[in-house]
Structure 1
């Protein structure tokens, strides 16, 4: 006999995460597309600085370097814009699925709802609070009796942290570079950072799709329905 789920309070109710989930996926896809453009810009800069290291000189190389720097500036600006839009919509979706999790299984939620936003921005705790909240949401959204695996959650969070680290390293190296060698190393570091961001965004899409589907199916199944019933 399945364990009966706790009855939510009178002010608690479910709201569909499907629309916000689709919007979050679309904007994360935009982030990936923009990051691919940024990788191309990094490659252009990496190529021309490599030529400078090999001793190339003259007006043609100087123009290529100016064009490469301009391309990277454009890429950086577009990346910032797409990231801001993606973060806003993703957080709206995250708050929605956290609220639903509190209806499905309030006893599995180890943190208050406000941390669904604050946990991303408070220094130090932002390194693990969002993952912890996501795991709580995953537990609450899973069908009753289903075997739980956090592989997707852990892989997404690991790549997210690596992408943040890569961005810091890449930005520091490229920002302080004033020689061909330094610019070459900075372009390489930015390529790695952008590649990690693409991987993290791809797993974020998978996570959004999975959690959205889990909550949608659980809401349609009704209370107290075990997995496979």
Structure 2
């Protein structure tokens, strides 16, 4: 006599475990500090260009000022721009890796307050126009999951997030405007004026980098504190499959939370 076999239990996917963001945060912080230095040097180079072009415009030509001064000003702007672009590439790459790491940890702390999957912590940065709001929404959800009570009405560090995000958007828009003005300048007075715009752009970039640094440190510290406190996720969905001895009534704790 044959007996009906028990239904096969579906395989569960790997449960998420905490992964430390501290090392990545240190690297991102160091690169943001490099960007701050690049902004300071860029401000100085633009100020020097503005001074030289002001003398050229008022003196009637580069000959009265000296071609050496003009060449040094052009070299300074070019070198600081290259330094900035190189630092930006490295900083953006590591920042996105760190951002994905903290989003992954949020899946351990409080998965039910995350409105987007972890993949959006990477892909959201590369969608035109959508990258103006998707990463901020993810960051807010991660902040909520990383605080002691993810279901509290207030979200810690949201003011810092808003300040950084607004400054980041403003600096990016202004940088494009200032760079276009400088590239299109064709006479000493126009270059003088464009250099002033570059100086303003450097200040906005510097403020944005400082706020980003504070945000990275604040969120990393919040996740580390929560992990060290050993807090478990407050809500977990139960596995939806029948057990051999009867129905499953609850789920176990997530490892590493």
Same-fold call, TM cutoff 0.5 = yes
Instruction: Report matched runs for 1:38-187 at 5 Å.
Output: 38-57=42-61, 58=63, 60-144=65-149, 147-149=154-156, 150-187=158-195
Contact 1:48–1:61, Cα closer than 8 Å, also in 2: no
**Moved beyond 3 Å, runs of 4+:** none
Matches within 5 A, 1:8-27: 10-27=14-31
Shift of 1:61: 3.3
Per the TM alignment, residue 148 of structure 1 is displaced from its structure 2 partner at its CA by 2.3
Given that 1:53 and 1:180 are in contact with CA atoms closer than 8 Å, whether structure 2 keeps it comes out as yes
Q: Is the 8 A contact 1:17 1:93 kept in 2?
A: yes
Deviation string, structure 1 residues 46-75 (Cα, Å, up to 9, x no partner): 111111222353254332112101111111
Partner in structure 2 of residue 222 of structure 1: 230
Deviation at 1:224, TM superposition (A): 4.6
Gap regions ≥5 residues in structure 2: 1-12, 235-257
Equivalents in 2 of 1:15, 1:98: separation in Å?
A: 10
TM (normalized to structure 1)? 0.90
In structure 1, the gaps of 5 or more residues are 1-8
Number of positions where the alignment pairs a residue of Structure 1 with one of Structure 2: 219
Give the secondary structure class of the aligned counterpart of 1:119. Answer: helix
User: 1:119·1:129 contact (CA, 8 Å) conserved in 2?
Assistant: yes
Counterpart for residue 250 of structure 2? none
> Per residue, is there more helix in 1 or in 2?
1
| Separation (CA, whole Å) in 1 of partners of 2:226 and 2:87 | 32
| Cα RMSD for the two superposed structures | 1.8
If the length of structure 2 is used for normalisation, what is the TM-score?
A: 0.81
Establish whether residue 28 from structure 1 lines up as the match of residue 35 from structure 2.
no
Match of 2:218 among 210, 214, 219: 210
The whole-number CA distance in structure 1 between the counterparts of 2:125 and 2:192 is 33
1:3 maps to what in 2? Answer: none
